[in-house]
Structure 1
Amino acid sequence: MKRFAAAFLSVLFLAVPALAGATVAQAQEGARLRIDLAGLSPRVITQSSTALTVTGTVTNTGDRRITKPQVRLQVGDRATTERGVGDVLSGAVVKDTPLTDFTPVADVLEPGQSAPLNVTVPLTGPRAERFARPGVYPLLVNVNGTPEFGGAARLGAVSMLMPVLTGPGKQATNRSGAPSMTLLWPLTGNVPHVYAAPYGNPVVLADDRLADEISGDGRLNALVTSAASTARSNANLAKSMCFALDPDLLATVDAMTRGYLVHTDTGNVDGKGVEAAKAWLTELRALVGGRCVVALPFADADLDALTRIRPGDTSLVTRAAAGAATVQQVAGVTPQTGVLWPDGTPSAAVLTALSDAGVRTVLTDAGKLAPAAAGGGLTVQGSSVRLQPTDSLISAALAGVPTVPGSVTVPASTERAVASQNGLGALAFRAGLGVTGGQRPDHLLVAPPRRWDASAGEFTAYLQQVGDFLNAGLVTATGLTALLAAAPEASGAVGDGGPDPARSIDAAVVSTLADLDDKATGLASAMQLDPTKRVKPDDVVEPVRLAELRGASTAWRGLPADAATTNAQAELAAISGRVTVSQPKQTIALASGNSPLPVYVSNDLPVGINARFSLDNNTGLRPEEAKDWFFPASGGKNYFLPVEALRAGRFSVDVSLSTPTGTQLGSPARFELTSTEYGAITIIATVAAGVALLLLASRRIYRRVKDARAGRDVVA
């Protein structure tokens, strides 16, 4: 068999403990067969397990006919080191032995053709001995075949971790010294969905996908319903869970309940998810009421990117970390005071900003801390901030990426089943299942992917199995509050000295957001409080600041840069577009050379604003030197702009407005003009030309008279 084929990872397990349902397993690049697993039973082998069943389909994804495709289950030696687990997660070739004989899948698979896969292994006799000892084992679904013009080879494979609590038919053993466990349950959107939310206007979403996410089989609805059903039935599981909420998601769904619009290429239309938003918020409040909650940064923003948008100014970081009030207002529960779960490990500049913002505990990746904290927390040297580590191995298993330094770099599948099944295996391993030595920590803080995508049934199956681990004594339940009540175990520094460049926000996004931030600052500085409206200029500009946080969201990694900045650009345009120069409906006649130009300006903002007129394409007109004009809130009138006509006739000029710092307001308006009077310059130029002509004519006459007299003298 080809050794590189073990890197073909992917699996998708389903919903109930038997995982009945359709899932998709991703084939490795170059694989000719894709294995779609529809069922795996059981998820964890125990003393009562009598058989292991794998079902699914095999699809020919290549361009050649494949004859005699056949499937076999294979199992490796139980993992004894983190490197061994990491090798399975990353798809490295591991030593394994057949668990079954090869079973035919079909006689022939033409390109694009599929065939069912169904393998059952009785866990009795010699086969049961492969799982006789508690531990975590690599399990491989291996499909061989013979492609046209080639020889027999492994053409597709799916690998996973299989935990064994107790060997089939064996007596369960008592466990002691089990680590405690806390499980974070993140609720944040796939991407920020707000297109524009101008001050005083309904929210406009970029699309209506969020309505699908919070209803029916949507991901966010699945996260809430699965957690609600399992937490009600297992008190230990409920005790261990802490819900991580994104303030931007909550604020967006809350705005949807009051009616919202969806942006389209042909204009805004009414959103369809008003009732879904109301129902989801009701279910969420019932779920988190009285339970542990922590806040994510607003829109799950990359905090380091925020320091680069506004260098030397940490106010954006402070704003991103100040979402506890939104969580309390919308979800009806008070988050853990001073606790934040940002993505990645914060840099020194970010830690300083968080400390100034009142954040005292940051949940972060244990792999980036020096010295590595085994679960008890670390006080950052020179700071009052505590870093509480999440378990790196479990997080990587749930995310489906390699984690062990020095292991192969082929990424594991990010399909939903790999995330859950390998997450269960990594949790069991880190809890010490079948492992001897000092690799078991005192506490495990489990952090799933922030945008973990699976069905409600798959989430339920995962949570039920974690609950079974708790009931079996493999781990014990500890709430986050109790964990943070204990003093940090050590003092140290952020191990990598800053953010991971590979996971940083695109530099082009940061540059665009920085430019938009400067323009928003210019807008705010030009605004003045209206005594009748009592609206602060900062409140009018606030949507742009929030859009900057959304633009820096970690959700945009790997997506086009313009998608990340659309919201901020739309918010800025929504504000500046409310101060406009009206397009004249008819040609304006200038009665004299210095007649003023009437310009009608509307200010629809609830604040007054200072701005300057600009005249472009004005070869026939000269304006006075630019000066600041004040335009009162919520009004419009004609303003007479002093100009001087430079020529007679018909011509045009473009009139626009901008703040004193140069931020454009509205769109330029084209003025068609006629002038029947000459301006002073034209008159002066005409007089000067006439004088010059008179002098030249006089000189010519003088010379001719002089020459004529000289001729008469010669004749005489």
Structure 2
Amino acid sequence: MALFTGTPLLAGLLLVPHAPAAQAAATGSGTVEVSIESMTPAAPTKSDSVTVSGTLTNEGSSTITHAHVGMHRGSSLSGRSSLDNASPSTGYVPGVDGPEVKGHKEKVDNLAPGGSRSFSLSVPVKDLHLGDSGVYRLGVSLSGRTQAAPFERVLGINRTFLPWQNGAAGKKTQLTYLWPLISTTHLTAETDAAQTPVFRNDDLAAELAPGGRLQQMVALAKNLPVTFVIDPDLLATVDAMTRTYKIGGPDGPVGKNQAVAKQWLNDLEKAVKTHEVIALPFADPDLASIAHRGKSVPSALSHLGPATELAAGTVDTVLGVTPRTDFAWPVDGAIDSSIVDVATSAGAHNVITRSDSLRDTGGLPYTPTAARPIGGGNNAIVTDARLSRTFEGDLSKADNASRAVQAFLAQTQMINLQAPGRQRSIVVAPQRMPSASQAHAMATALRELQDSGGWTEPLNLTDAAKAKPDPAATRQIPSGAAYPRSLRREELPTSAFRQVQSTQAALDDYRVILAQPERVVTPFGTAIMREMSTEWRGNPTGAGSFRHSVRGYLNGLAKKVHLIQKSDATLSGRSATIPVTVQNNLVQGVEHMTLRLTSSQPNRLDVGKSQQIKVDGGHSQSFKFDTTANANGRAWVTAQLYTEDGKPYGEPMTFQVNVTEITATVMLVIAGGVLLLVLAGVRIYLQRKRMAAASSEDGSDGDDPDDGEDPDGAGDGPDGGEGTNGDDGGTDGDKPEQPSDPKPDTGSESTDPSGSGEKVDR
């Protein structure tokens, strides 16, 4: 019989290794997942009832019957580290969780495998039998039966923290909570002719719209005791969004979310009237990256001062309040001596750090006041690391958010209980860009803390910085070796700062030629500041892309002012004019420039003096250079634009000039030849005049044709060169002379004396 009964057992053991791990784990007090999604009030008083709500999920393989939900008041916790080690969902431990509170349970219908059901259980505080002030474990369990265990037992349990203040607290802890309003980079350096800003995308609208992250941050904070910490770049971006704006891209549309932007700014303006405002340097520069990677680039530090000045002006202009600008906030509050030096160099005398960076080594039995003098008139504001990191992670799940709220309250009470008779000031700096769900959890915790009125009181950051420091608290700034490697790996590289320097230099060269430099200085100046933002931590691709886009756009604008290529020229005189054309395709005019020509052979070709340039926007203009040729041949001429301080601007333009100008010696030869021609003409004229006179003398011997040596009228005939062509007795001399006729000259046979000044060949 034993053999047969053992067979099923053996078969079961053989099947166990093949069962899924999750199936094997969902047994005992881990069969049911108990999720605590809310606890109200979070910090109850004696007259309250504690209500816990949540969800039950059967992770087992069989239906749960005869089930109910019960509450357990566990033991109190001692010390802040005990809160860190308290596990919310391990199996039921009677010595830790305590017995189920009698008389208060909620029955639960049968729960099939994989099934879920919500629950809500209320228990009066008096029935929890709480003792002295402290933080207690509060457990919620589901007890029931399964087919494998047909008797009642705890099948699932979850725990949370129950802060309890029994009577009045001693000296309340002063609590400062920073409320950051920071976003990613949305504006580019681009603008159009009407100075319309161009956005990288329209994602900011979703953050500003009802239910969006930034809208929720403002709506939640307006009635909370918080200190706003604002990146002025966000304000400038939203302010630009209230007017006409465009979305970047080849066919980027015009933005349509002006109303959303206006409403958000209006809500924020109302909220800050009753709150302190801290303005970070414009675009929230990464101080650690500048200190560690930018220090070898001389211009990196030069941006911090202008960023701080711009921050104050932006907040004042947009919100109408004067912010504090003497606070610096390195990433995650991690500091070393170089970071402090960089932060204070721009006038920030208060450096917000964190207790896991500036660690207390004096063995204090309590959490010291946040403010610490660190020399040089500067203070470190040491935020509490545990409280600052409480609301990280995915808090979109109600159970995670509820536990974070209870943990925050428990930590603050534990701080107060460490030294109830000592006044201390604690500062909390959460993550830079909380999600909407994280913001809701933070707001819930602060409201619960406010409503309890038990162990804390609010304090703004300015007063926290003035609080009397604890003399035993650590003030020694950690060395660079202590800076977390994980954060160092995310820093901007040195090459990024060199690119920033190069872009700034190009902007400086470009701005000096503009008639209205402010049109480009503002958008490009702020874009360069954004290149050093903490936003780019862990996103080297995005950071590089943004830097390249800024420089590429600047280069494109600079190239719109250029020289138009000139074809080769020929000079055929001693002096000539060479025109060179400057094209300005910008919207605005350019001035304070010089156009200079340089000859490759100045002895051959002198290209004249440089000229001042001024060209209206959208126009081209030719500038004429008076040149002088000294010798024949070819010469290369280079045209180059220069800024007012003598720096070359743009690409040079080169063309060739062929000099065919006649030299002075040749001119003398030609002049001599011309003189000879003139003299020859005079000689011919005198000869003709003499011949005409001689002809007149021959005619005076007798006008009658019958009276003469040749009565027949035949004359000498062809031999004599004289005679008649007809019967009319007319001579050749009576015919008009044609221009093409050969010019007469003095015959060798003539015996008449030569004319005055005339040369006669004998």
Query: What TM bracket, shorter-length normalisation?
Result: 0.5 to 0.7
Residue in structure 1 matched with residue 373 of structure 2 by the alignment? 379
Q: In the superposition, relative to structure 1, how do residues 431 and 42 fare at CA in structure 2: closer, same or farther (>3 Å)? A: closer
Distance, in Å, in 1 between the alignment partners of 2:330 and 2:182 is 12
Secondary structure at 2:179's aligned position in 1?
A: strand
Give the drift of 1:605: 6.0
2:476 aligned with 1:493: yes
Letter in 1 for 2:369: G
Q: 8 Å contact 1:257–1:275 — kept in the other structure?
A: yes
- Name the stretch that deviates more: 589-598 or 476-485: 589-598
Letter in 2 for 1:339: F
Distance, in Å, in 2 between the alignment partners of 1:663 and 1:394 is 57
From 232, 245, 256, the counterpart of 1:260: 245
Q: 8 Å contact 1:517–1:545 — kept in the other structure?
A: no
Q: 8 Å contact 1:37–1:55 — kept in the other structure?
A: yes
Letter in 1 for 2:196: P
2:556 aligned with 1:577: yes
- Name the stretch that deviates more: 633-642 or 560-569: 633-642
Q: In the superposition, relative to structure 1, how do residues 637 and 287 fare at CA in structure 2: closer, same or farther (>3 Å)? A: same
1:25-75 residue CA offsets vs partner (Å, 9 max, x unmatched)? xxxxxx999988754444334323434322247599xxxx96658997777
Q: In the superposition, relative to structure 1, how do residues 591 and 363 fare at CA in structure 2: closer, same or farther (>3 Å)? A: closer
Give the drift of 1:216: 0.8
Letter in 2 for 1:249: L
Residue in structure 2 matched with residue 247 of structure 1 by the alignment? 232
Distance, in Å, in 2 between the alignment partners of 1:556 and 1:423 is 30
Residue-pair matches, total: 567
2:186 aligned with 1:193: yes
Q: In the superposition, relative to structure 1, how do residues 600 and 391 fare at CA in structure 2: closer, same or farther (>3 Å)? A: same
Residue in structure 2 matched with residue 86 of structure 1 by the alignment? 84
Q: In the superposition, relative to structure 1, how do residues 416 and 293 fare at CA in structure 2: closer, same or farther (>3 Å)? A: farther
1:561-588 residue CA offsets vs partner (Å, 9 max, x unmatched)? 2223443333322222123369999x99
User: Taking structure 2 as the reference length, what is the TM-score of the superposition?
Assistant: 0.61
Letter in 1 for 2:277: V
Higher RCO, 1 or 2 (CA under 8 Å, sep at least 6)? 1
2:500 aligned with 1:517: yes
Residues 126-145 of structure 1: matches in 2 within 5 Å?
128-129=128-129, 134-138=133-137
From 271, 274, 278, the counterpart of 1:287: 271
Residues 236-385 of structure 1: matches in 2 within 5 Å?
237=225, 241-264=226-249, 266-307=250-291, 308-309=293-294, 311=296, 312-313=298-299, 314-322=301-309, 323-336=311-324, 338-343=326-331, 344-369=333-358, 371=360, 374-381=368-375, 383-385=376-378
Residue in structure 2 matched with residue 119 of structure 1 by the alignment? 119
2:426 aligned with 1:398: no
Q: In the superposition, relative to structure 1, how do residues 443 and 632 fare at CA in structure 2: closer, same or farther (>3 Å)? A: same
Residue in structure 1 matched with residue 424 of structure 2 by the alignment? 442
Residues 459-470 of structure 1: matches in 2 within 5 Å?
460-469=443-452
Distance, in Å, in 2 between the alignment partners of 1:297 and 1:144 is 57
Residue in structure 1 matched with residue 54 of structure 2 by the alignment? 55
Secondary structure at 2:76's aligned position in 1?
A: coil
Q: 8 Å contact 2:369–2:469 — kept in the other structure?
A: no
- Name the stretch that deviates more: 494-503 or 569-578: 494-503
Secondary structure at 2:506's aligned position in 1?
A: helix
1:55-106 residue CA offsets vs partner (Å, 9 max, x unmatched)? 247599xxxx966589977776433122222234899999653777996884
What do you get for the CA RMSD once the two structures are aligned?
5.4
Q: In the superposition, relative to structure 1, how do residues 245 and 320 fare at CA in structure 2: closer, same or farther (>3 Å)? A: same
Letter in 2 for 1:385: N
Residue in structure 1 matched with residue 218 of structure 2 by the alignment? 224
Q: 8 Å contact 2:190–2:523 — kept in the other structure?
A: yes
Q: 8 Å contact 1:55–1:119 — kept in the other structure?
A: yes
Letter in 2 for 1:492: R
Q: 8 Å contact 2:335–2:478 — kept in the other structure?
A: no
Tell which structure's C-alpha radius of gyration is larger: 2
Distance, in Å, in 1 between the alignment partners of 2:160 and 2:110 is 24
Residue in structure 2 matched with residue 210 of structure 1 by the alignment? 204
Distance, in Å, in 1 between the alignment partners of 2:527 and 2:348 is 22
Q: 8 Å contact 2:589–2:614 — kept in the other structure?
A: no
Letter in 1 for 2:303: L
Letter in 1 for 2:354: D
Distance, in Å, in 2 between the alignment partners of 1:380 and 1:633 is 56
2:368 aligned with 1:388: no
User: Taking structure 1 as the reference length, what is the TM-score of the superposition?
Assistant: 0.64
Q: 8 Å contact 1:424–1:466 — kept in the other structure?
A: no
Q: 8 Å contact 2:48–2:124 — kept in the other structure?
A: no
From 519, 526, 532, the counterpart of 2:509: 526
Q: 8 Å contact 1:206–1:262 — kept in the other structure?
A: yes
Q: In the superposition, relative to structure 1, how do residues 340 and 104 fare at CA in structure 2: closer, same or farther (>3 Å)? A: farther
From 113, 118, 140, the counterpart of 1:108: 113
Residue in structure 2 matched with residue 694 of structure 1 by the alignment? none
Q: In the superposition, relative to structure 1, how do residues 244 and 66 fare at CA in structure 2: closer, same or farther (>3 Å)? A: farther
- Name the stretch that deviates more: 300-309 or 598-607: 598-607
Secondary structure at 1:444's aligned position in 2?
A: strand
Identity %: 22
Q: 8 Å contact 1:340–1:363 — kept in the other structure?
A: yes
Runs of 5+ unmatched residues, structure 1: 9-30, 110-114, 146-155, 167-171, 232-236, 401-411, 614-626, 643-655, 670-674, 681-716
Q: In the superposition, relative to structure 1, how do residues 51 and 466 fare at CA in structure 2: closer, same or farther (>3 Å)? A: closer
Q: In the superposition, relative to structure 1, how do residues 211 and 492 fare at CA in structure 2: closer, same or farther (>3 Å)? A: same
2:541 aligned with 1:562: yes
1:486-519 residue CA offsets vs partner (Å, 9 max, x unmatched)? 4544573223546433124735x43553243133
Give the drift of 1:523: 0.9
Secondary structure at 1:578's aligned position in 2?
A: helix
Distance, in Å, in 1 between the alignment partners of 2:399 and 2:537 is 22
